[in-house]
Amino acid sequence: MSTDVKIPQQLPVTQHATPQGVKLPIYMDNHATTPMDPRVLEEMLPYFMEKFGNAASRNHSFGWAGEEGVETARERIAKLIGATTKEIIFTSGATESDNLAIKGVAEMYREKGNHIITAVTEHKAVLDTCKRLEKYGYRVTYMPVQKDGLIDLEELKRAMDDKTILVTIMAANNEIGVVQPIAEIGKLCHERGIIFHTDATQAIGKIPIDVNKQNIDLMSISAHKMYGPKGVGALYVRRKNPRVQISAIIDGGGHERGMRSGTLNVAGIVGLGKACAIASEEMSREAVELASLRDRLRDRIMNRLDETYINGSMEHRLPGNLNISFAYVEGESLLMGINDIAVSSGSACTSATLEPSYVLKALGTGDDLAHSSIRFGIGRFNTAAEVDYVADRVIETVERLRELSPLYEMAKEGINLADVKWAGEAH
Amino acid sequence: MSYSDKVIDHYNNPRNVGSMDKSSADVGTGLVGAPECGDVMKLQIKVNRETNVIEEAKFKTFGCGSAIASSSLATEWVKGKTVDEALAIKNMDIVKELSLPPVKIHCSVLAEDAIRAAISDWKKKQESTQPVATAVAQ
């Protein structure tokens, strides 16, 4: 059997070129997902047809070929994060990893305590898992964050008590890209015998992560945020200093040391491994390039438009992330104006609740500015020409919408919008 | 989500954007919504005192594409109508015309509110100017 599949070298979306040579639409939403790196796909392809074996088949070469792919991937992931291969458990993605880590610790250490600490800016995969545990009698502290998005370590210390079994704080935020002081948090946990889990979905492959240097006990990893395939991820589970144990939430054939049953997604795992191998090689160079593109985007926009505000710390931030609020302009209408560019907005105008981003609200950003926010996620395949195009389109659209905005007009007339009695405030 | 062609058209070519002198006795101004809710509409009408016909309408809107389209359409519809005819415009007429999905119905409600608010502002002005005029005549 041979695989005679052509690897597509460009995006499958129909694109057209601008006079500047930029292909539209531009994808700049790399926190939602990333396109696959062609090198990842190439590595995966044999595992769909030729090497289709079940990695758990121990007694024939088909199984061995699958197992070899899986074990190579395990080594590559372990190398990227400074772990050992036995500490890597494959899952379907970071949401499952978060569930497994939090529920797994909660059940395993129930006799030791019932208190869990997390932060209000966590991903829903963590927050909703914690909320479910509250129904089962666990006590959860949802830590606030400071104005820059970082948690206060003193406050974290105060939240810890003798019943605390787990602290779960993300490495980098999916909306504002803010990077938490993971090593310090881990140290505080270890001093008190508390297990530390971090959702590193956005951080892995973007910034250096070392589970030993950063005192991490459990860590969620996703492939599709780092140029790998969707539907596959991993959970790092520390084996010594201290040895961490978790209860399984999926029972079955006892795969992955009994922590996660289910036939392994071999091709996906191979893809995750390759994505990690590429990151190990290229991350330090790529981070510099992404930060430079990000700063270029920020400067071009902010030099031209007044009353634009960056959400979250600029210092402790993922290199490819920019989250800006454009005062007096509603985010969804801005997205509509730049519809040849894929980015996200903190305005949840489409949701029934009309609630803007809870992450931005947690920073103390007013609801009006939260509605006005755009998240740019610059990734491996973005270019300087694309950044310039995006900046110019944003500037042009914000200027147009401000001319249309009664708030902008009122502000220009010198009216303080905070003093206005709004008719719709009861909403 | 995808927008209807009519919403896109109003968003790209909004009708009657602008402002009129809100202190003018013939101009009624409606300002509805709140920035925290993500929608603020300002709709203004200029009414002929003799005929009660809305001769001019202007709007400015902070809000999503559907909110912009709803208010743009509202200005088109009220123009040329008498005040009473304009009051008969219902939000569901806007929903139908723009094919707004259920999550965007509040945009049409806001547009109806804006029409009503502008008319009530204008009416208030007529009540308060009338006695003054009478007083002068006496």
The domains of chain B, with CATH numbers, are 5-125 (3.90.1010.10)
CB pairs under 8 A between A and B: 98
The closest alpha carbon to B91, from B103, B106, B108, B79, belongs to B108
Residue A347 confidence (pLDDT):
73
What ipTM describes this predicted complex? 0.91
Bridge partners for A342 per DSSP: A27
pLDDT at A292 over 90: yes
Q: Which helix (H) or strand (E) holds B61?
A: strand B54-62
Amino acid A354: pLDDT: 60
Question: Residue A407 is nearest to which of B62, B67, B113, comparing CB atoms?
Answer: B62
Q: Which residues of B are catalytic?
A: 37, 107
Please give the Cα distance from A205 to A208 (Å, whole number).
7
B109–chain A Cβ distance below 8 A for any pair: no
* Inter-chain residue contact B38 with A417, CB threshold 8 Å: no
Instruction: State the best of A326, A328, A329, A330 to mutate against chain B, taking most chain B CBs within 10 Å.
Output: A330
B62 — contact with chain A (CB < 8 Å)?
yes
Quick one: pLDDT at residue A345?
Answer: 87
Q: A217 pLDDT exceeds 80?
A: yes
CB contact under 8 A, A405 and B62: yes
Q: What is the CA radius of gyration of chain B?
A: 16
Percentage of residues in chain A having pLDDT higher than 90: 88
For B37, which of A409, A417, A424 is closest by C-beta distance?
Answer: A424
pLDDT of residue A1: 43
Would you state the pLDDT for residue A16? 77
Phi-psi region of A307 (alpha: psi -120 to 50; beta: other; left: phi over 0): left
Beta carbons within 10 angstroms of residue A415's beta carbon: 12
- In terms of Cα–Cα distance, which of A154, A198, A194 is closest to A173? A198
- Asked if A349 is an active-site residue, the reply is yes
What is the per-residue pLDDT for B38?
87
- In this prediction, residue B138 carries a pLDDT of 42
With cut-offs at 50, 70 and 90, classify the pLDDT of residue A12: low
pLDDT along chain B (138 residues), means of 10: 90 97 96 91 96 97 96 97 97 97 93 97 87 47
Q: What is the pLDDT of residue B137?
A: 45
Higher pLDDT: B14 or A350? It is: B14
Which of A144, A141, A102 is closest to A120 using CA atoms? A144
Mean pLDDT of A297-304: 98
pLDDT of residue A422: 85
CATH number of this structure's domain A42-278: 3.40.640.10
Q: Where are the domains of chain A?
A: 42-278, 283-419
* A404: nearest CA partner in chain B: B60
* pLDDT single digits (tens) A374-396: 999 999 999 999 999 999 999 99
pLDDT tens-digit readout, A243-279: 999 999 999 999 999 999 999 999 999 999 999 999 9
**CATH code for the part of the protein at A283-419:** 3.90.1150.10
The distance of A299 to chain B (nearest Cα, Å) reads 25
**Average pLDDT of chain A to the nearest whole number:** 94
- pLDDT at position A427 over 70: no
- Cβ count within 10 A of residue A397: 20
Task: Name the nearest CA neighbour of B118 among B65, B71, B68.
Answer: B71
| Mean pLDDT across A147-157 | 98
pLDDT of residue A123: 96
List the single best residue of A334, A336, A353, A407 to mutate versus B (max B Cβ within 10 A).
Answer: A336
Task: List residues of chain A with CB under 8 Å from any CB of chain B.
Answer: 328-330, 332-333, 336-337, 347, 349-352, 354, 356, 366-368, 371, 403-409, 417, 422-425, 427
First to last CA, chain B: 62
Pick the residue from chain B with its C-alpha nearest to A365.
B36
Three-state DSSP at B88 gives coil
B129/B124 Cα distance (integer angstroms): 9
Residues of B in contact with A427 (CB under 8 A): 34, 37
Whether A421 shows a pLDDT value over 90: the answer reads no
Q: What is the mean pLDDT of residues A92-105?
A: 98
How large is the average pLDDT for residues A297-308?
Answer: 97
pTM: predicted TM-score of the whole model, two decimal places: 0.91
Option in A349, A407, A427 nearest B64 (CB): A349
Least confident span in A334-343, A364-373, B78-87: A364-373
- Give the 3-state secondary structure of residue A409: helix
Mean pLDDT over A30-58 rounds to: 97
Minimal Cα distance from A417: which residue of B? B35
What's residue A374's pLDDT? 95
